[in-house]
Amino acid sequence: MSTAVEPLLRVTDLSVTYGVPRKGVGLGTGAALRGANLEVYPGEIVGIIGETGSGKTTLARATVGLTAPASGSIEFEGRDLTGLRGRELRNFRRQGRIQLVFQDPLRSLDPDLTVARLVAEPLEVAGGIDAATRAERADRALREVGLEPEVVRERRPRELSGGQRQRVSLARAIVTEPRLLICDEPVSALDVSNRNLVLNLLDRLRRDLGVAVVIIAHDLSSLAGIGDRVAVFYRSRLVEQGNLREVLTRPAHPYTALLVASAPSLGDESVLRPADIRVDRDDAGPVHSGGCVFADRCRFAVDACATRPALREVGERWSAACHLADRWRDDVIDNIRPVSTGTLTKGDR
Ligand SMILES: Nc1ncnc2c1ncn2[C@@H]1O[C@H](COP(=O)(O)OP(=O)(O)OP(=O)(O)O)[C@@H](O)[C@H]1O
Ligand SMILES: [Mg+2]
């Protein structure tokens, strides 16, 4: 892909604050996302990785317009979505150009509706499509995700397996022919074989429909083999974003290195193993409220880390929020073994 291609989605300095009820003091506020940046290019698969509570779902909800950001901007197909209000926002959402597949398919699907209704519903909401066409497109979407319409059409969510429910959620999301599909932890609740089926399915949808896919996950192993790029979040902040293979091979942020080293299976040669590198320290370091979010756990922290590192470029479409990005990599990673990028290629799965 040439660098001249404009991103489909560009999230810039996005912050989201929820009102948090606190005992005795009424409504306090909690920042769920702080200054997040994300770029998604047409037809690519981007992973968003981060521990629980790091703001991944919040970012997804804000991107589809379900949660209003406190500041920052969301541009989609060159259009600023953060400026949309009321009817404009509803119209945009109805078109289904960006679709979100929710984290918990059982809770997000209306238990009283049949699969046929569930999958056709987004088209009803979009309006202007007759019932026969809606039913036909719903059937097509079901086939697209590997379900037989004749078998599942009349069932309700309870009458499906977890993997089938996940597919129904996906069918519902692709029925509007979105340009961007955001899947919130699509595989976390599935066993290994269903995991691979769903990931391969997402890869195929990207190829067949040209849709860009964001996959939210806890760990990097959910992406190995299919992701093009990755964004790593820690404590509500983006710490690193770049080409998946490059990031796995030579992470620019120590927190990413920690994730890479602790991931169960990422291929072998090109990635760090826990024995190769110690990123975290034995005892907690000082917490600097305005400083790097990882400094208290980071073995390489220096005085400068008391000041928050800005996200800066460390390569092509590759950025990291670490003062020492280049230095610690040169000192630590490059001394471990020669860099090889041979293993994590697409289609390994
Ligand atoms: N509706 C809400 N009201 C108040 N706080 C919220 C709300 N939703 C999320 N939060 C808080 O915002 C922060 C980020 O939550 P979010 O759900 O985005 O995290 P996440 O990365 O998706 O976590 P997980 O991996 O567990 O799904 C957390 O501290 C969470 O407690
Ligand atoms: Mg979440």
Atom of ligand 1 nearest to the CA of 218: 25
* Residue 15 near ligand 1, beta carbon < 6 Å: no
- For the chain, the C-alpha Rg in angstroms (whole number) is 21
Are 198 and 294 part of one and the same domain?
no
Question: Backbone dihedral region of 77: left (phi > 0), alpha (psi from -120 to 50 degrees) or beta?
Answer: left
Q: How far apart are CA 326 and CA 309, in angstroms?
A: 13
Cα distances from 198 to residues 65, 71, 203, in angstroms, run 26, 34, 9
Q: What is the CATH number of the domain that holds 103?
A: 3.40.50.300
* Residue 28 near ligand 1, beta carbon < 6 Å: no
pLDDT (0 to 100) of residue 339: 43
Q: What is the pLDDT of residues 156-167, one digit of tens each?
A: 999 998 888 989
* Residue 7 near ligand 1, beta carbon < 6 Å: no
pLDDT (0 to 100) of residue 278: 73
pLDDT (0 to 100) of residue 344: 39
Atom of ligand 1 nearest to the CA of 61: 18
* Residue 18 near ligand 1, beta carbon < 6 Å: yes
Q: Give the end of a domain, one of 197, 218, 239.
A: 218
Are 195 and 69 part of one and the same domain?
yes
The pair of three-digit structure tokens given for residue 188, joined into one six-digit string: 């976390």
Distance 259 CA to ligand 2 centre (A): 18
In this structure, the residue with its CA closest to atom 29 of ligand 1 is 53
Q: What is the pLDDT of residues 177-227, one digit of tens each?
A: 999 999 999 888 778 777 888 888 899 999 998 999 999 998 888 786 788
Atom of ligand 1 nearest to the CA of 50: 21
Distance 107 CA to ligand 2 centre (A): 14
Q: How many CA atoms lie within 13 A of 298 on its CB side?
A: 25
Are 315 and 200 part of one and the same domain?
no
121 inside domain: yes
Distance 264 CA to ligand 2 centre (A): 21
pLDDT < 70 regions, the chain: 1-4, 20-29, 224, 264-277, 332-349
pLDDT (0 to 100) of residue 239: 94
* Residue 318 near ligand 1, beta carbon < 6 Å: no
Per residue, the 3-state secondary structure of the chain, as one string, reads CCCCCCCCEEEEEEEEEEEEEECCCEEEEEEEEEEEEEEECCCCEEEEEECCCCCHHHHHHHHCCCCCCCEEEEEECCEEHHHCCHHHHHHHHHHCCEEEECCCHHHHCCCCCCHHHHHHHHHHHHCCCCHHHHHHHHHHHHHHCCCCHHHHCCCCHHHCCHHHHHHHHHHHHHCCCCCEEEEECCCCCCCHHHHHHHHHHHHHHHHHHCCEEEEEECCHHHCCCCCCEEEEEECCEEEEEEEHHHHHHCCCCHHHHHHHHHCCCCCCCCCCCCCCCCCECCCCCCCCCCCCCCHHHECCCCHHHHCCCCCEEEECCEEECCCCHHHHHHHCHHHCCCCCCCCCCCCCC
In this structure, the residue with its CA closest to atom 7 of ligand 1 is 18
For residue 205, give its domain range.
9-19+30-218
Are 168 and 300 part of one and the same domain?
no
223 inside domain: no
Are 51 and 161 part of one and the same domain?
yes
List, in sequence order, every residue forming a beta bridge with 98; answer none if it has no partner: 180
343 inside domain: no
Are 176 and 293 part of one and the same domain?
no
pLDDT (0 to 100) of residue 144: 92
The pair of three-digit structure tokens given for residue 183, joined into one six-digit string: 């899947």
Q: Give the end of a domain, one of 167, 199, 218.
A: 218
Q: How far apart are CA 328 and CA 45, in angstroms?
A: 29
**How many folded domains does the chain comprise?**
2
The whole-angstrom distance between residue 307's C-alpha and the CA centroid of its chain comes to 27
Q: How far apart are CA 246 and CA 266, in angstroms?
A: 13
